[in-house]
Structure 1
Amino acid sequence: MTRPTSRRVLVTGASRGIGRAVAQAFAAQGDTVAVHYASSPGDAEQTLASLAGDGHVLLQADVGDPDAARRLVEDVVEALGGVDVLVNNAAVAPGTANRHRIGEVGYEAWQTTWRRMIDVDLLGAANVTYCVADHLIGRGVPGSIVNVGSRGAFRGEPDFPAYGAAKAALHAFGQSMAVALAPHDISVTSVAPGFVATERQLEKLDGPAGDELRAQSPHGRVGTAEEVAAAVVYLASPAAAWSTGAVLDVNGASYLRT
């Protein structure tokens, strides 16, 4: 079955950073985008306003809530008439407020952080994937799902173990879905970015840790959100259909897997 030239794309966690760049990249090639956000309406509205073309929509949901994840997909289908591509980017990202290294946090904080990161970063993506895949299967059409994972899934995250574990599980989930959904002509892939110069990371890059972060790559710099977005757009394209099940490192050779 021929894939449509212009597709309807749901990008979760698209209010800024990688999600915004992904939404912009799809819109720039003529796709219609559903911009999802959880708690930053102002940033999400800026993303929406920055998109080329028209017909794009803005939707709010806490994907860590299974019912909200289901409603999100239902709302996208109603607003756009369907979904052809899903990008699972929404995540509780590591930060000062949720650092949870063993020996430095209490058990209650440990439990709270693990629960929230797993609920959003893994189960949220799994639930949205289920609903989008169910929609595609019901329509009898091909589709693409791309998960935004992390280099931390492979090299470890001692300060944020729940994040590393969730992203490792997300990669494994994507590979399981690639096998399960192949008979329906739905491709499932993942990207594993290294450190990316998003808005929330600028202070860190400008501070004492900046030089060390840039030195992690032999290129002497960190990645950009646009570079990750380019990889996502490629993996979601018909040209990458035979790469289903792949996890693509996007880290400037800062971490090499064997």
Structure 2
Amino acid sequence: MKVALEGKRALVTGAAQGIGEAIAKTLAANGARVAFTDVNGELAKQTAAKVDGAIAVTMDITKKESIDHGVADVVKQLGGIDILINNAGVNTAKHRVNIDKFPLEEWQRIVDVDLTGTYLVTQAVSNVMIGQGTGGRIVNIASSLGIVPVRLQCAFIAAKGGLVHMTKGTAIELGPHNILVNCVAPGSTLTEGTKGLYYGENASERERAERLLSHVPLGRPGTCEEMAHGVLFFCAPESGYITGQIMAVDGGWTAGGFFRDF
């Protein structure tokens, strides 16, 4: 998929690796100048160095001061921001327990990044876009679990479900400024992290992954590049009348594949 993003300036959070890296590289490959931002500034720098014209900025989205400084740095280096991809997010592997046993500190950690952090970045960047007066695109990365909840992940599904509705509300509020706000909701995705946990030859949760994939109509995890192309669609000039929408890139899981044996 190729679209014309020449002259556009993009900020991607959590861009040092995984889905965020794939998104940032895909936007750059289609002509945008991209700021790779991440709490791991050194890794973001190493990743951005592989992309012509890209910059790297350290940004901790749980801290407003870090966001304000990072956004100002991006504006200074790129001259503005036309595209924001709210990709940075976390989940828990250790605390897969019912809500009655779920630790408050783990709830707070996940919500602080996945929901509050996205709100803070959106607030900072939308002010930049409104000031520019030329519109913009914001794409939030939620999760298929923000559409269909599952057990043992109360904080993650709450944060991602909140992000789904925040996308719609923000689209209504920013529409008059021609800022389009949409959301990509990935399903299970093949990353370095999930290879070790689920999909690698010696993965610790290989049996669980097989059960999961048995409910995915396409029968496999998605790739980071497939998630990135969902984002690219929302950034394309041809998508100029689409806002407030949620695109599940999940191999059909949310279409009801998990009920196939009902």
Q: Same fold (TM over 0.5)?
A: yes
Matched with 1:194 is 187
AA paired with 1:176?
G
AA paired with 2:15?
A
Whether contact under 8 Å (2:213, 2:219) holds in the other structure is yes
- Aligned in 2, Cα 1:103/1:231: closer, same or farther, shift over 3 Å? same
Matched with 2:259 is none
1:213: how far off? 2.9
Matched with 1:162 is 155
Whether contact under 8 Å (1:153, 1:167) holds in the other structure is yes
Give the TM-score, by structure 2 length: 0.89
* 2:127 paired residue among 129, 134, 137: 134
Whether contact under 8 Å (2:15, 2:36) holds in the other structure is yes
Please identify, of 68-77 and 19-28, the stretch whose mean Cα deviation from structure 2 is larger.
68-77
Whether contact under 8 Å (1:122, 1:170) holds in the other structure is yes
Matched with 1:147 is 140
Matched with 1:34 is 35
1:208: how far off? 2.4
Distance in 1 between residues matched to 2:5 and 2:101, nearest whole Å:
52
SS in 1 for 2:220: coil
Distance in 1 between residues matched to 2:68 and 2:253, nearest whole Å:
37
Give the TM-score, by structure 1 length: 0.90
Distance in 2 between residues matched to 1:94 and 1:256, nearest whole Å:
25
* 1:60 paired residue among 39, 58, 61: 58
Whether contact under 8 Å (2:12, 2:84) holds in the other structure is yes
What pairs with 1:151-230 in structure 2 (closer than 5 Å)?
151-203=144-196, 204-206=198-200, 207-230=206-229
Distance in 2 between residues matched to 1:134 and 1:142, nearest whole Å:
11
Matched with 2:50 is 50
1:112: how far off? 0.5
Matched with 2:20 is 19
Matched with 1:235 is 234
**Over residues 88-140 of structure 1, what are the superposed CA-to-partner deviations in whole Å (9 max), with x where a residue is unaligned?**
001123323x43533555xxxx2111111111111111111111111111111
AA paired with 2:199?
L
- Aligned in 2, Cα 1:40/1:60: closer, same or farther, shift over 3 Å? closer
AA paired with 1:13?
G
1:170: how far off? 0.7
Whether contact under 8 Å (1:205, 1:213) holds in the other structure is no
SS in 2 for 1:22: helix
User: What stretches of structure 1 of length at least 5 have no aligned partner?
Assistant: none
SS in 2 for 1:86: strand
User: What stretches of structure 2 of length at least 5 have no aligned partner?
Assistant: 201-205, 257-262
**Over residues 57-113 of structure 1, what are the superposed CA-to-partner deviations in whole Å (9 max), with x where a residue is unaligned?**
1111210112222222111111211111000001123323x43533555xxxx2111
What is the alpha-carbon root mean square deviation over aligned residues? 1.8
| Aligned residue-pair number | 247
AA paired with 2:89?
A
- Aligned in 2, Cα 1:196/1:235: closer, same or farther, shift over 3 Å? same
**Over residues 213-246 of structure 1, what are the superposed CA-to-partner deviations in whole Å (9 max), with x where a residue is unaligned?**
3222121111111001001011022211211000
Work out whether 1:83 is the aligned partner of 2:81.
yes
Please identify, of 209-218 and 185-194, the stretch whose mean Cα deviation from structure 2 is larger.
209-218
Please identify, of 79-88 and 32-41, the stretch whose mean Cα deviation from structure 2 is larger.
32-41
